[in-house]
Every structure is written in structure tokens, then in C-alpha cells.
Amino acid sequence: MLAILGGAVWFVYSSRTEGQKNGRAFADEVIHKVVVDYDEKYLDQRLSYAARAQYLPMWRTRMMEYLKGFGPLAKPPETKGNVYFTSHFYDPRGVFRSDLTYANQSAYLELTVSKTTRWQVDEINLVWNPPPTPTPAPSPVMAASPTPTPTPTPQPRRKKRG
């Protein structure tokens, strides 16, 4: 009896560990496909039904255009986050944030994933800081000359005849 109970406890904890590992791997895969490969079809297939209704196709296309417009990544994305379970061992959900560094700006991608029958994306959000605007060059301004202009010499007056 003790062996069966021990086996059940081992199974539950190994399932939890496996769920955490798979959730992180799924989040890393989604971030790579979206940020590096710009694979909109992959994202469309992995969105949950609620996320498909929330993030319309035009929104997803615009997000991909923004990512492409940022240019190539200056360094690989750094993903932070955790998988947690709503019922101790079942119903895994993960919240991740991936920092994206580009040549002239930075951004981050927030991602919420969950597992029902398969891993899926519940929320995705791209936040970026616009590149710094260059400071304008000073425009020439009319200024007083550093050397004063000489005062004109008075003209001699003519005498009136008369």
C-alpha cells in the first residue's frame, strides 16, 4: 500500500515538474517563432479561442509589421517568467516576459500561456520604447556683430546764398 501511495506522489510531482519544463519550452518556442522568424501562421495556430477573438488578425499582422520594422535583434531575447498551477498539480499557466534589444531601441513581449489539451497562448502584448529623436542642429540666428560698425562722419554743410 505504501508503494502505491509513494508511486502516486512521485507521479504527481514529476507531472508538475514536467509541466513547468514544457510550459517554459513552449513560451521560448513561441517567442522565437514570433520575434526571430516573424511566423504569423504559427502564432495564429497557437492562440486560444478567446485570444483569437481578442487579438483580431489585423492586430496580429500589425504587431508582426512592428517587429519586422525594428530590424534584427542585437542579442538573443532574454525570457523571464514562471509556470504556476491553479490546482497545485493541474491546470498549468505561465506568465513570461521577453526583453528584446534592437540596434536603436528596446522592447519587450509579454506572453501568457496555458495548457488545456495542448499548450496555447492566452495573451500576448508587445511594448516598445520609440528610438530617441535626434537633437536638431541649431539654426543660424541673426545676432549683433561682435565689432561695432563705425559711426558715419558728418557731411560738411553748405552755406546758403543769399
Query: Within a 10 A sphere around the Cβ of 98, how many other Cβ atoms?
Result: 23
Of all residues in the chain, the percent with pLDDT exceeding 70 is 90
pTM: 0.74
pLDDT for residue 146 is more than 70: no
104: its cell numbers: 536603436
| 108-136: average pLDDT | 89
**Cβ(35)–Cβ(108) under 8 Å?**
no
The contacts of residue 118 (CB under 8 Å, 6+ apart) are none
pLDDT in tens, 50-96: 999 999 999 999 999 999 999 999 999 999 999 998 877 678 999 99
Sequence letter at residue 87: S
